[in-house]
Structure 1
């Protein structure tokens, strides 16, 4: 305790009737007509008393003693805040870690794929395509390009009757309806596929206008072709094409699994597929935006505005979007737990106030002010919230690291989260203790001691 305030009191008892007399009212403190002369005369007869005052160290000591006086109750009260803070830390940490992992996979599969759509040439006597097959070589020379391929298809060849033999038997299924298209020899790498049987056609087949075909894995299964050792053939519009390979596992353009793929020259001679309709480009990570800007210029100089480029979105925006969605989904759980913890602190603090009415009355009778009583209970509730925040932050980070280790992820932890969790817990405890502390400060000493 420290003496801080100096309070003046009269040396002798005061008759209330004297205070109503204006002639002598200025002799006493609190008189209705106190004048400067009366106050000057009082200074000589007044005595000084000391009012006790608690500094923050004393207040903290008293509050800590109050918390430790009921350790089991304080532990159960702290548990609510621990659960709330732990849930918040786990939610934010897991969402950041999962978002980083999802975006990493997104980068590997999607963020490196660029597609250029070529519109059909206008009808004329001698239509000139905007993009020819040699434009693929120009795109391949761009910085950041890993692989590129061109595809030609049309609505006329989107549904073609394909048969595995030319023998027609009554009652048997003679063929399948499939899409037929032309592609450049680099198609397997561009669609991230692999040859499950045989090989893909090459520049020699294209230069020789060879009637060869490559089947998608589903198309080969539908036609009953599982091996190319005996050089099986398929028939399109009465023409036979030797099957030299089967393409499977395409991650891009998955409709190729049910298609028949022909060399560009053969497709133009037999089916009229001469104009490139799409260009598939795979880039290095981070080069998709640049390649998407340069590819139309390389494919159609002077007419690049007529081409449509489909490039992946910015990975940074995708990461923020994923983290925002995960945070919005799980953050509610943490907030609900935190609110439950705050209600628990408020209830326990209020019960503590009711149990310590006698102590409050004794403190007030000994000279404690309303602010001191309210401050003690506020510091107690804030201490409980702070302890819950510290324990919850530690448990939350341990859970995030453990989940990341089990899933083989790289944990993403924000230092601000570790520092802000205890502050959030203390703030919850402070807000939860406002009403109980105000109620304790409003108690009159006589009523508190009487009860």
Structure 2
């Protein structure tokens, strides 16, 4: 190589640099500032378009949040009451089935997995009235039952006032009212002289039950001792035996209780778990939740269409701006990215507003119902992600249309 030759990287006084303007790449910060500027110039249209997105996201957040709070409240109830309660009754759907044996409660208590048990039996001829002057036909559906053991304790219930009925067979006539029975009879508090009329005689009320979550059918019943119930048509057979078993042995206890109660015909004995009914009720509510989420999705789709419509109109109104930028050297992808960022920002603002509204509705409703507030993080994150997707999809066509505007056509509108 000659001594006078120089490296391509070597500069000298005789080096001539290429002439012409330097091109600057449009960065993310520039696109964000352009997007914010585009939205600020049309605040009214931006608010109306974002409102469509906000309504859809708020509906979805509120529905999911309220449903989750309801489930949390149910879980709290089940945790307090326990899911280890089994109910033994005569089987349904087998035609003529004999009642449970008179020894059913004792048979259940002998099982090793059983921690506690109590039973109730129906007094078919029992009629309860507030006073002897009430017409005989006005029973208000209040029934009479007798008991074996402490039924509220086994079912996780409690007494709103007073004490539980004396379970011994020879106990004197006395009555404990279920929550609904007390309301139907017009008894809202317990006094020393509080009494009802059963079987033509005055019976002192010694207690009022709180609502029974695991056995709502007992709420409209009046409970009396077995000796007194015998004069009211009680045949000595329990209609239901409530059993609290070892929480780790629920399935095993469920399999043996029918044989324990009636070894000769176990198929005529039904064993159910009350908490399953509460869970089934909650599953029914889930179907309505799915329907409401679908409605929220439709609202979200409508909001996306509104964003697309807004962006198309924005492109038409800003043809001159696009033309000037193209004439100054802006590339098609720069124009496309600018309008796409505006669409994403518009949808994101609507999504944030929708999340705030949805959270406020959920918290207000849950607190009003006395539920714990439970809002899944996936619902909030999914709602914001949905707005980004909708914003991107809604802005693709307007952004591509803006990028295809020729500089000469746009400048003609100036």
TM range (shorter): 0.5 to 0.7
Higher radius of gyration, 1 or 2: 1
Q: How far, CA to CA, are the matches of 1:163 and 1:392 in structure 2? A: 55
Are 1:158 and 2:124 matched, yes or no?
yes
Are 1:89 and 2:61 matched, yes or no?
yes
| Residue 193 of structure 1, CA deviation | 6.3
| Residue 116 of structure 1, CA deviation | 0.7
Distance 1:443 1:211, change over 3 A: closer
1:186 match:
150
Contact kept? 1:117, 1:278, Cα under 8 Å = yes
| Residue 391 of structure 1, CA deviation | 5.0
1:104 match:
76
TM-score by length of 2: 0.65
The number of equivalent residue pairs is: 372
Distance 1:420 1:307, change over 3 A: same
1:257 match:
221
| Residue 327 of structure 1, CA deviation | 3.0
Q: How far, CA to CA, are the matches of 2:175 and 2:70 in structure 1? A: 39
Of structures 1 and 2, the one scoring higher in RCO (CA 8 A, sep 6+) is 2
Question: Residues 151-195 of structure 1: CA distance to partner in whole angstroms, max 9, x if unpaired?
Answer: 444xxx62368999xxxxxx9989999967653243464564659
Contact kept? 2:128, 2:196, Cα under 8 Å = no
Question: C-alpha root-mean-square deviation of aligned residues, in Å?
Answer: 5.2
| Residue 308 of structure 1, CA deviation | 0.6
| Residue 352 of structure 1, CA deviation | 2.0
1:62-77 equivalences in 2 (<5 Å): 62=31, 64-71=33-40, 73=42, 77=46
Question: Residues 25-51 of structure 1: CA distance to partner in whole angstroms, max 9, x if unpaired?
Answer: xxxxxxxxxxxxxxxxxxxxxxxx999
| Residue 101 of structure 1, CA deviation | 1.6
1:95-174 equivalences in 2 (<5 Å): 95-105=67-77, 108=80, 111=83, 113-118=85-90, 129=101, 131-138=103-110, 142-143=113-114, 145=115, 147-153=116-122, 158-159=124-125
Distance 1:392 1:296, change over 3 A: same
Contact kept? 1:114, 1:280, Cα under 8 Å = yes
**Match for 2:301 among 331, 335, 339?**
339
**Match for 2:322 among 347, 352, 360?**
360
Q: How far, CA to CA, are the matches of 1:242 and 1:62 in structure 2? A: 86
Distance 1:233 1:338, change over 3 A: closer
Residue aligned with 2:165, SS:
coil
Contact kept? 1:52, 1:368, Cα under 8 Å = no
1:225-244 equivalences in 2 (<5 Å): none
2:338 match:
376
TM-score by length of 1: 0.61
2:312 match:
350
2:372 match:
410
Residue aligned with 1:149, SS:
strand
Distance 1:261 1:92, change over 3 A: same
| Residue 351 of structure 1, CA deviation | 2.3
Distance 1:405 1:134, change over 3 A: closer
1:435 match:
397
1:447 match:
409
Distance 1:112 1:92, change over 3 A: same
Q: How far, CA to CA, are the matches of 2:138 and 2:398 in structure 1? A: 80
Distance 1:434 1:107, change over 3 A: same
Question: Residues 191-228 of structure 1: CA distance to partner in whole angstroms, max 9, x if unpaired?
Answer: 6465977873454xx4xxx4854445469979xxx999
Distance 1:50 1:396, change over 3 A: farther
| Residue 287 of structure 1, CA deviation | 7.3
Question: Unaligned regions of 5+ residues in structure 2, if any?
Answer: 1-18
Question: Residues 69-126 of structure 1: CA distance to partner in whole angstroms, max 9, x if unpaired?
Answer: 4515257526423444344333322331233124433665695653211369x99xxx
Distance 1:76 1:292, change over 3 A: farther
